[in-house]
Amino acid sequence: MLSGKHVLLIISGGIAAFKSLDLIRRLRDEGVSVTPVLTHAAEEFVTPLSVSALAARKVYRDIFDLTDEAEMGHIELSRAADLVVVAPATADLMAKMATGLANDLASTLLLATDKRVLIAPAMNVRMWQHPATQRNIATLAGDGVLFVGPDEGEMACGEFGPGRMAETPQIIAAIDAALSAGPLAGRHVLVTSGPTHEPIDPVRYIANRSSGAQGAAIARAAAALGADVTFVTGPATVPPPAGVRVVQVETATQMMTAVEDALPADVMIAAAAVADWRVDNAAGSKIKKTKGAALPKLSFVENPDILAKVSQMGKGRPELVIGFAAETDDLVAHATDKRQRKGCDWILANDVSPETGIMGGTENAVVLITDAGAETWPMMEKSKVADRLARKIADRLG
Ligand code: C5P
């Protein structure tokens, strides 16, 4: 429900700035009040007069405008809105956000705000794909910044690829989602995800094939229902979703510590494929391949069982602890047994036999095991499994 909401809209300097005029108009049609902020570069693309006329409000442009400070200081301006939206968000402004620069009004507001920030990036495809921008995207996602777009397509510069600003309806839908309180609002949901890497020496490690897709989808789905999500992830191939607090780890031991640090939580979902063992005699320097020498022998030690530990922690235990059981045979029997052994409340069991294509694939077929028994879900996209699970969690917490 958008009506009555207040958005602080920061327009930075890119060709897509013209689309922001339409965004202002459509937001106002929805009953949203829009306070516009223009960077100096944005004024090369849209005029302050047209922005202010469409918003029917003063447009803010300069941090040193003392009249503005008298009316409303920049701190207050950054917090008076329900949501801060940056559209378009240029590579330059994203870099400032990622490093915490505050050298103009827009970047200062973004550093000072205590509200959620949604950005609609727009830039040339090469700029989007540049490692520096990709690093900034990961940093911003880790900070909980929400993203909408960019879209793929032909760009004003004549090149083709990702970088076009999302269209107005898409941005409005993202604003709506960011503003809706959701049934998990005020709840802290902790998700573990991805594989772990267990070192053999500083350059070699033991890993598994988990992509982190299901865990990332669950974190996204919980955040979409308004949860405050901590996403503890091993080195996954699927990137973390926007709008969650990301904690990157490598080993099972680090994941255990990160989970302990993230508690208390209302819900924990252990979607990570944690290595059962780590190399006990991992070398501090690279093991050399010496001709004629004996082959290295690895010895193993058991890793902490994060799910079991949290399930059995007594005081401070999350209200709901959910684990996964990846099995290749006797799915329900093994998973039911695992639920008992670990002490978790729910288990999502899935058949990971190679012929199912689930491991590393986009779909999943799960059986939800609770104290009420087994509930079989049909094969569906991992994102749908995540949405259904998030709704079930919301129902359970009430
Ligand atoms: O025992 P198994 O590895 O089959 O259990 C799978 C479930 O336990 C998953 O939810 C997984 O995230 C969790 N787990 C864990 N720590 C481990 C091993 C598994 O949290 N060391």
**190 touches ligand 1 (CB under 6 Å):** no
Q: Closest ligand 1 atom to the C-alpha of 307?
A: 20
232 lines ligand 1 (CB under 6 A): no
Query: What pLDDT is recorded for position 23?
Result: 98
Q: What digits encode the pLDDT tens for the residues 64-86?
A: 764 655 566 878 888 889 999 99
| Atom 13 of ligand 1, nearest CA residue | 307
Establish whether residue 307 lines the binding site of ligand 1, counting it when its CB lies within 6 angstroms of any ligand atom.
Answer: yes
pLDDT band at 89 (very low <50, low <70, confident <90, very high): very high
Rounded Cα distance, 155 and 48, in Å: 25
Mean pLDDT value of segment 317-340: 95
What pLDDT shows up at residue 138?
86
Res. 247: pLDDT tops 70: yes
Q: What is the mean pLDDT of residues 243-265?
A: 95
Strand duo 366-370 + 373-376: pairing: antiparallel
pLDDT of residue 145: 87
For ligand 1, pick from 324, 331, 364, 389 the residue to mutate: most ligand atoms within 8 Å of CB: 324
**Per-domain boundaries in the chain:** 6-178, 188-397
Lowest mean pLDDT of 231-245, 277-291, 328-342, name the range.
231-245
Mean pLDDT throughout 362-372? Answer: 91
CATH class of 188-397: alpha beta
CATH 3.40.50.1950 holds for 6-178: yes
Separation of CA 201 and ligand 1 centre (Å)? 24
Q: What is the pLDDT of residues 15-40, one digit of tens each?
A: 999 999 999 999 999 999 999 999 99
**Whole-structure pTM value:** 0.66
The answer on pLDDT for 171 being more than 70 is yes
Token duo for residue 336: 């039911």
Same fold across 6-178 and 188-397? yes
Does residue 198's CB lie within 6 angstroms of at least one atom of ligand 1?
Answer: no
How many other C-beta atoms can be found within 10 angstroms of the C-beta atom of residue 108?
18
Residue range 263-322, pLDDT digits in tens: 999 999 999 999 999 999 999 999 999 898 889 999 999 999 999 999 999 999 999 999
CA distance linking residue 191 with residue 318, whole number of Å: 12
Catalytic site positions: 157
Closest CA to 374 of 397, 393, 344, 346: 346
State residue 309's pLDDT score.
98
Q: What is the mean pLDDT of residues 56-63?
A: 91
Lowest mean pLDDT among 3-12, 157-166, 331-340: 157-166
User: Quick one: which atom of ligand 1 is closest to the CA of 324?
Assistant: 10
Percent of the chain, pLDDT > 70? Answer: 97
Q: What is the model's pLDDT at position 71?
A: 60
pLDDT range class, residue 377, cuts 50, 70, 90: very high
**Pocket residue to mutate for ligand 1, from 306, 311, 336, 389, most atoms within 8 A of Cβ:** 306
Measured by CA distance, the residue closest to atom 21 of ligand 1 is 305
Across the chain, what does the average pLDDT equal? Answer: 92
Tell me, in angstroms, the distance from the centre of ligand 1 to residue 135's CA: 30
Q: How many C-beta neighbours within 10 Å does residue 329 have?
A: 8
Instruction: Give dist(CA 93, CA 101) in Å, integer.
Output: 9
pLDDT value, residue 36:
97
Rounded percentage of the chain residues whose pLDDT exceeds 90: 73
Please report the atom of ligand 1 found closest to the CA of residue 272.
12
* Ligand 1 centroid to residue 385 C-alpha, Å: 19
Classify residue 30 by burial, with Cβ atoms within 10 Å: 0-12, 13-18, 19+: middle
CA distance 219 to 130: 26
